[in-house]
Chains A and B, each alone.
Chain A
């Protein structure tokens, strides 16, 4: 193992790591309490595009997690920042719930396309609409490119496949604002005063959580909950710093070995 780093910040994925839909991963609330006793900044980072920050907070509070709104950084926030920067009017292929996070951004006569996780919009008609805008020059912004996610009834396609399809159709590249983009991880740390080298990321998605974080200079801990499938840890290079059962074990490791 490399020389001991100084750990100052912990990034924690939400869906699949702290909870799966409406159930907490067993032992996680208590593990989070123990982590808060350590001298580390904590941020909750998520690519979830179906819920606004307020929705996320509600659910986490219901599951008895002690979290504040300003500790949450989502890819929706990252997308909104980009739209404001570029001053464009988006066709928003995002879940209705997520629209809240785009309030105030004009959407008439769109000249940009934003794609999030929005199964109800991934029908042929809407995809054609997005396709024609992009072919005419509208930038394609992807909140993230997750291949699939875990629902109660099994695995389900994420926005990644649809973004890839639109890129192919139009021969353009999407700007991806969520995990595993490096800018996402760096922006998540803003306000903590910590550097990537001083940070550990805990998540269930080997490529997007762990791979992305490590590529940004952080350590990555892969948990075997949520969308994790056997041997996922063999699919990235370098391999995860650590693979363990679930969030409580990840916290144990941090408290015992990284502080």
Chain B
């Protein structure tokens, strides 16, 4: 169980990072671990306070964008699920890896061998998949079988110029029944097997954050990212010049606050707390 900070310390700690919120015009939200925990019947469970927090941001005049690496469904299906859970979210507010990957594949004339979740496949319908000259790997859950990994491996090892595109590089994510291995683990497996380096589409790639900021029409210095992954959400956003908060929900583990390389601009118990503080600062 995560340790929620005692109110006294929390208030002083919050005051610190709240002082540095000047100039914030836009909020970028991670989804899994911030809005909800996936898995189980109904596809997931909202994190307490998150539905209201999203409403609060929208009512505040701040710009809002959702930035996710979730690739277990098309954007349409994924957003529909979140709407069913009560979230005020639209497809055109979401930056996700598959559409970005498709653009890249088209630009470079790449024909992908897909190792992705079944429900993501439709995102790639427009692409020629015959005679693949690259492999695209996503968080495919049970599709990450030995047989499927082997097939992807054989495509790569048979190419003179092996190209591996990974939709994210996360280590694990949280579902309602515990922590589960994320795409980054299998990306590393294929990198090791084929002695190649993957190209990452999705957090923490700079290009991915920049495209989200472009959609919002805010500069990095005017944006704040809120996520549960200290490296891919917080670290990635900071590398772009954004501020970033880590929530203590989702995949958060206490050791994240002592990460050797990444120091969040602030640590908050959950999205609701973060939004309360951000919106209060706005009105000062």
Given contacts A124-B144, A131-B172, A157-B150, contact A168 B184 (CB under 8 A): yes
Q: Is the CB of A168 within 8 A of B188?
A: yes
- Cα–Cα distance between A161 and B154 once the two chains are bound (Å): 14
**Contact residues on A (Cβ < 8 Å of other chain), bracket:** 20 to 34
| Choice from B142, B145, B179, B186 contacting A135 with Cβ under 8 Å | B179
A105 located at the interface, meaning its Cβ lies under 8 Å from any Cβ of chain B in the complex? no
On whether A155 and B154 interact (CB within 8 A), knowing A119-B146, A132-B179, the answer reads: yes
> Does B171 lie within 8 Å of A164, measured CB to CB?
no
Whether A154 lies near B154 (C-beta < 8 A) is yes
A148 touches B181 (CB 8 A): no
Say yes or no: B149 contacts A157, CB within 8 Å.
yes
Stretch at the interface among B57-65, B77-85, B189-197: B189-197
Let me know if A148 and B157 touch, CB within 8 A. yes
Tell whether B185 is near chain A: CB-to-CB under 8 Å.
Answer: yes
18 further contact pairs, Cβ within 8 A, besides A128-B179, A157-B150, A168-B188? A123-B146, A127-B144, A128-B178, A131-B172, A131-B179, A131-B181, A147-B193, A147-B195, A148-B193, A156-B150, A157-B189, A160-B193, A161-B153, A165-B181, A165-B192, A169-B171, A169-B181, A171-B171
Expressed in whole angstroms, the minimum distance between the Cβ of B167 and any Cβ of chain A is: 16
Q: Is B110 an interface residue (CB 8 A)?
A: no
Q: Does B146 contact A147, Cβ atoms closer than 8 Å?
A: no
Interface residues of B in 194-248 (CB under 8 A from A): 194-195
A interface, over-half SS: helix
| Interchain nearest-CB distance for A61 vs B (Å) | 31
A130 to B178, CA, bound (A): 13
Q: Given the complex, which residues of A lie within 8 Å of B141, measured CB to CB?
A: 124
Residue of B nearest to A164 (CB): B192
Cβ distance B2 to chain A, nearest Cβ, rounded Å: 15
A120: Cβ under 8 A from any B Cβ: yes
Q: Does B180 contact A (CB under 8 A)?
A: yes
Q: Which of B140-179 contact A (CB under 8 A)?
A: 141-146, 149-150, 153-154, 157, 171-172, 178-179
Per the bound structure, the CA–CA distance linking A169 and B193 in Å amounts to: 16
**Known contacts A124-B144, A131-B179, A169-B185; is-contact A161 B193 (Cβ 8 Å):** yes
Complex Cα–Cα for A170 and B255 (A): 12
A-B contact pairs, 17 of them (CB 8 A): A119-B150, A124-B145, A127-B144, A128-B178, A131-B181, A131-B185, A135-B179, A147-B194, A148-B193, A154-B154, A158-B193, A161-B190, A164-B189, A165-B185, A165-B186, A165-B188, A168-B185
Report yes or no: A124 in contact with B181, Cβ–Cβ below 8 A.
yes
Scan residues 150-209 of chain A and give those whose CB is less than 8 A from a CB of chain B.
154-158, 160-162, 164-166, 168-171
Asked if B181 and A127 make an inter-chain contact with CB atoms under 8 angstroms apart, the answer reads yes
CB <8 Å contact, B189 and A161: yes
Complex CA–CA separation, A124 to B147 (angstroms): 11
Chain B residue at minimal CB-CB distance from A121: B146
User: With a CB–CB cut-off of 8 A, which chain A residues contact B150?
Assistant: 119, 156-157
A228 at the interface (CB under 8 A from B): no
* A→B interface (CB under 8 Å): 119-120, 122-125, 127-128, 131-132, 135, 147-148, 154-158, 160-162, 164-166, 168-171
- Which residues on A sit within 8 Å (CB–CB) of B190? 161
> Chain A residues with Cβ under 8 A from B143's Cβ?
124
* A161 and B180 in contact, given A119-B146, A124-B142 (Cβ under 8 angstroms): no
Task: List the A residue with the shortest CB-CB distance to B188.
Answer: A168
In the complex, what distance in Å separates the CA atom of A127 from the CA atom of B178? 13
A148-B153, A169-B172 are contacts. A160–B181 as well, Cβ < 8 Å?
no
B254 CB to nearest chain A CB (Å): 13
Please report the C-alpha to C-alpha distance between residue A166 and residue B146 in the assembled complex, in whole angstroms. Answer: 15
Closest chain A CB from B228 CB (angstroms): 16
> What 7 A-B pairs are tightest by C-beta distance, nearest first?
A161-B189, A165-B185, A165-B189, A164-B192, A161-B193, A122-B146, A119-B146
Q: Is the CB of B179 within 8 A of A162?
A: no
**Chain B nearest Cβ from A144, distance in angstroms:** 13
> Bound complex: CA of A80 vs CA of B165, how far in Å?
38
